[in-house]
Structure 1
Amino acid sequence: MNDSYDVVIVGGGAAGLGGALSLTRARRSVLVVDSGAPRNASAGHMHNYLGREGTNPLDLLRIGRGEIAGYGGEFISGAVVDVRRAGGVFRVVLADGGEVAARQVLVTSGLVDELPDVPGLRDRWGRDVLHCPYCHGWEVRDRAIGILATHPALAAHQAQMWRQWSADVVVFAHTAPAFAGADLDRLAARGIEVIDGAVAGLEVADDRLTAVLVDGRGPVARDAVVVPPRFTARVDFLASLGIKPVAQEMAGEVLGTHLAVDPTGATPVAGVWAAGNVIDPRAQVISAAASGVQTGAMINAALIEQDVEAALDRSRVG
């Protein structure tokens, strides 16, 4: 690892590697700092990625790293704990105490999926506990699906979405307040039952999920259970720069946080950019990678402007 780079990228997922590929091909010196904890590590396959449908997401990262290394990009395993501006550059501080300087910083640290506190849920996450129909709907088509409700409007929306893939969809009311009458009518019209009562836990029998209700009813067997995670942006290390996440809303409910950026990927702090799930929790792998590529191009344009200004300053002195 060198002491200074044109760009330090925080996060080595699809968005970070997309940005690194764009920048290294532009002949920029790039360091990718990655903690080795991709959000989709528990998923065996990724979908809707044109040309790589069904690829293991870890294989995609391995292939991407090799491509970037071929253009001179560098990688380090570790976590970034602080980013601060010093002497016209950014100092990126690592958890092991190391520091590296960067002219520009690209944040692709992603988010954390915080799941509802239901025993058994985390153990099946990414297998048969799911959240995105576009990522997993085809794999559970025509199977028995349960929607775990925490927000009634969101649960009603999710149920109607998943009904596209299966006619056997039920909603576990769980901790959601009362559903609106219009939502109940819409659910009933498509044969979607709402089961009252909180879910005490998920159990597995014969490799099939069963939802056990708090009042002892059930168990209700399901092939997949859909949950609404809280999407929390991984951006604590930006606090020294005054960059804070903002609320992420969906279906009228606050479901987490994300970084706000302009259309180029720029944050309010000049020289700090962001791409991927950290700015858009809904981004799938292919769109996160595209976000990184596009923001990488914007970063290169900003660096070119810096290079031009520096050349002008030298010519004036000369």
Structure 2
Amino acid sequence: MNNAAQYDTVIVGGGPAGLTAALALTRYRHRTLVAESPAAPRNAASRGVHGMIGLEGATPAEVRARAWAELDAYGLTERRDTTADDIAPAPEGGFRTMLGDGTQVWSRTVLLATGVIDIHPDVEGFAACWGRTVIHCPFCIGWENADRTWGLVADDADYAAMAATGFRAWSADVIAIAPPGMDRAEETQRALRAAGSDLVQGEITRLHHHDGDLYAVEMADGTLIDRQTLLWAPPQRQVPLVTRLTDTLGLALDDDGFVTVGADQQTSIPGLYAAGDLTTAWEQGAMNAAGAGARAADAVHFAHPA
């Protein structure tokens, strides 16, 4: 094997999915490597993780630090602060993972837990408000934005229609903001107005805020809409490694570009598993990712016991 370091499993990504899988595999006595990019994680803007029992309000950095303290106590999981640049089937079986530090490792299985990349719009003020008063998930920080005026940014009529009732747990004042030309816009606007909401169409060009605290949305025609919170889920793309694997190994994606997995979190490539946000558009979040990581670890162990 050309003296490549050998592991039972290589996990690419050190977020909730990857670290949960690492802990479970460690307790299954698998020798595991976690390759975690040194770049800022996708949830770096988050001020606290919510919904994870015992960790309520902990920052992502605090969660990672605690997870690694627990993993280090077992001594079977190694961490490398580097990217995984490529993965290829090994002639002798298993996989070779080429790391960004120039080394190569071999493992029987690989778990992709890379998350995805949010494609932020070119809107002034978006970055400052992101993760605070521009949110992609009401279940994540809806509580922190409760009792404020909300805007639901949507390009789909059915989703826009949810502004009338879908978010009442957090706000009694929610409108939809949609791009020009959205299908069934007039029908949706009538329905929203009848329910005490509204639909505004136009291009958002600027977010007015005080240190990330939104207070108005500016449209291309200069109109200002008083809003304190935007529910805005930007499009997403896969990390370069996943894109490469679709080209070189035929890794299957669904129609929306997410990695397809079975009930055991295994991808279309035997021995290659995936867990977390890279597999789903609608079940993203720390708890869902952690659960998927645990399922993947169970499947890896029972299919490939240490």
**CA deviation vs aligned residue, 1:70-104 (integer Å, no higher than 9, x gap):** 22210001111110012212110112321111110
Query: For the Cα contact (< 8 Å) 2:12–2:112, is it kept in 1?
Result: yes
Taking only the aligned residue pairs, the percentage that are identical comes to 34
Where do 5+ consecutive residues of structure 2 fail to align? none
Q: Which moved more, 1:116-125 or 1:209-218?
A: 116-125
1:11 is matched with 13
Q: TM-score if structure 1 supplies the norm length?
A: 0.86
Q: Which one-letter code corresponds to 1:79 in the other structure? A: T
Partner SS, residue 115 of structure 1: coil
Contact 2:148 2:228 in 1 (8 A): yes
The amino acid of 2:24's aligned partner reads S
Q: Secondary structure at the match of 1:166?
A: coil
Are 1:79 and 2:67 an aligned pair? no
Q: How does 1:1-318 map to 2 (within 5 A)?
A: 3-36=5-38, 37-71=40-74, 72-87=76-91, 88-157=93-162, 160-175=165-180, 177-180=182-185, 182-205=187-210, 207-218=213-224, 220-234=225-239, 235-238=242-245, 239-248=247-256, 257-281=257-281, 282-304=283-305
Structure 2 distance, partners of 1:24, 1:178, is 51
Over residues 187-230 of structure 1, what are the superposed CA-to-partner deviations in whole Å (9 max), with x where a residue is unaligned?
Answer: 22331122232222112248433211111222x22211121211
- Over alpha carbons, which structure has the higher Rg? 1
Mark the CA change 1:170 to 1:7 in structure 2 (over 3 Å): closer, same or farther. Answer: same
Q: 1:237 to 1:3 in 2, by over 3 A?
A: farther
Distance 1:292 1:243 in 2: 19
| Mean Cα deviation higher: 114-123 or 65-74 | 114-123
CA distance in 2, matches of 1:70, 1:180: 57
* In structure 2, C-alpha distance between the alignment counterparts of 1:35 and 1:159, rounded to whole Å: 41
Whole-Å separation in 2 of the counterparts to 1:228 and 1:14 = 20
Map Cα deviations across residues 46-75 of structure 1 (whole Å, 9 max, x no partner): 112123222212211111111112222100
Deviation at 1:241, TM superposition (A): 2.0
1 or 2, which has the higher strand percentage?
Answer: 1
The residue matched to 1:155 in structure 2 has which SS?
helix
Shift of 1:151: 2.7
Task: Give the paired residue count.
Answer: 296
**Which deviations, in whole Å up to 9, do the C-alpha atoms of 1:244-285 show, x marking residues without a partner?**
43223xxxxxxxx21001100111111101111111232320
Residue 145 of structure 1: how far off its partner (Å): 0.9
Amino acid aligned to 1:126 = G
| Paired residues of 1:12 and 1:108 also in contact (CA < 8 A) | yes
Per mean C-alpha deviation after superposition, the further-off stretch among 15-24 and 221-230 is 221-230
